Amino acid sequence: MSPVTHSPVSQKQLQELYYKNLTLTKEDLKKAVNEDQLIVQAIANITELDKVCNLLSKRLREWYGWYAPELSREVEDHQEFARLVAVGEKKKTESFGADLKKEDVQEMIFLAEEIMHLFALRKRHEEYLKIVMQEYCPNLLELSGATIAAHLLEMAKGLKHLALLPASTIQILGAEKALFRHIKTGSRSPKYGVLFQHPLVQKARAKERGKVARALADKLSLCARLDFFKGELKAGEYRKELEKKFEVKN
């Protein structure tokens, strides 16, 4: 047999090929970013902001405690606490706190203002999430709210995968630790993961929560499929069904 003869490739042709390949790769990369990624980034950021707000609020409480220890005890909510410090909530005359100079208190006020900013940013991100989801997965958004829906997408690694998951898996997304403990040690299987945060589950009696979570996961699975295949809006219907089934009074 005679060896296969290649037609000679010129330097110029090679270079052309190289640039063509580069352009295609770039286009593919650009297309690789879709709503899934944006949602996952936004929810990761919200989670981080929650942590940061918590850290700084604790610092503020300790610091401000030297000046007006009573306030921290009276106001439990971090955001409200920061607001009161920022607006210069007058300290009570019978306070046990030290009489600090204006400059000393001013630093605490700066910190409080910063914390308020961070809370505002968190809220803004949530609004943004809603807008993205309204377009991308309206059914999921409607039935589970922005935060839970984003967590589900994050854990399932995208809408496509979420749509392919069985409802029983959706039910325990976010409870992986308990699930593996169940598999390894035979302890009870988890009844819910991130769905625990859902108002329907929260409102249910403790004994019924597993049942509610299962029904909710069923409907969410349907929602994910509707959203992925750009189907109609049925989440409102599902919600009413669930509320009727578990007799939730609004």
Axis crossing angle, helix 35-65 with helix 138-156, rounded to the nearest 10: 80
Report the nearest approach of its own copies to the CB of residue 132 (Å): 8
Residue 19 touching its own copies (CB under 8 A): no
Q: Is residue 246 a contact point for its own copies (CB under 8 A)?
A: no
| Residues 76-115: x where in contact with its own copies by CB under 8 A, - otherwise, as a string | --------------------xxxxx--xx--x--xx--x-
Number of alpha carbons in the 13 Å side-chain half-sphere of residue 5: 3
**Residue 149: which of 43, 29, 67 has the closest Cα?**
43
What is the Cα–Cα distance from 159 to 154, expressed in whole angstroms?
9
Q: Are 191 and 206 in contact (CB under 8 A)?
A: no
Specify the stretch interacting with its own copies by CB under 8 A; choose among 38-46, 81-89, 182-190, 238-246.
Answer: 38-46
Residue 17 sits in the site that holds its own copies (CB under 8 A): no
Q: Is 233 in the site for its own copies (CB under 8 A)?
A: no
Q: Within 10 Å of residue 71's Cβ, how many Cβ atoms?
A: 19
Give me the least distance between CB of 40 and its own copies, in Å please: 10
Of 198, 205, 202, 204, which Cα lies nearest the Cα of 220?
Answer: 198
Is residue 59 part of the contact set for its own copies (CB under 8 A)?
Answer: yes
What residue type is assigned to position 106 of the chain? Answer: Q
Contact call for residue 18 and its own copies (CB under 8 A): no
Between 107 and 176, CB nearer to its own copies:
107
Contact 42, 129 (CB under 8 A): yes
The residue among 97 and 145 lying less far from its own copies, judged by its C-beta, is: 97
Overall residue count recorded for the chain in this entry: 250
When binding is defined by CB under 8 A, the residue of 15, 18, 20, 48 that contacts its own copies is 48
Should residue 50 be labelled a site residue for its own copies when binding is judged by CB under 8 A?
A: no
- Smallest CA-to-CA distance from 141 within 201, 224, 249, 37 is with 224
Select from 26-34, 70-78, 170-178, 219-227 the region that touches its own copies (CB under 8 A).
Answer: 26-34
CB of 233 to its own copies, least distance (A): 22
Q: Is there binding between residue 44 and its own copies (CB under 8 A)?
A: yes
Do residues 248 and 215 touch, judged by C-beta distance below 8 A? no
- CA-closest candidate to residue 49, choices 78, 92, 90, 84: 78
Among the listed residues 56, 75, 179, 248, the single contact to its own copies using CB under 8 A:
56
Note whether 92 and 70 are within 8 A (CB).
yes
Is 129:46 a contact under the CB 8 Å cutoff?
yes
Binding-site ranges for its own copies (CB under 8 A): 26, 29-33, 37-38, 41-42, 44-45, 48-49, 51-52, 55-56, 59, 62-63, 66, 96-100, 103-104, 107, 110-111, 114, 117-118, 121, 124-125, 128, 131-132
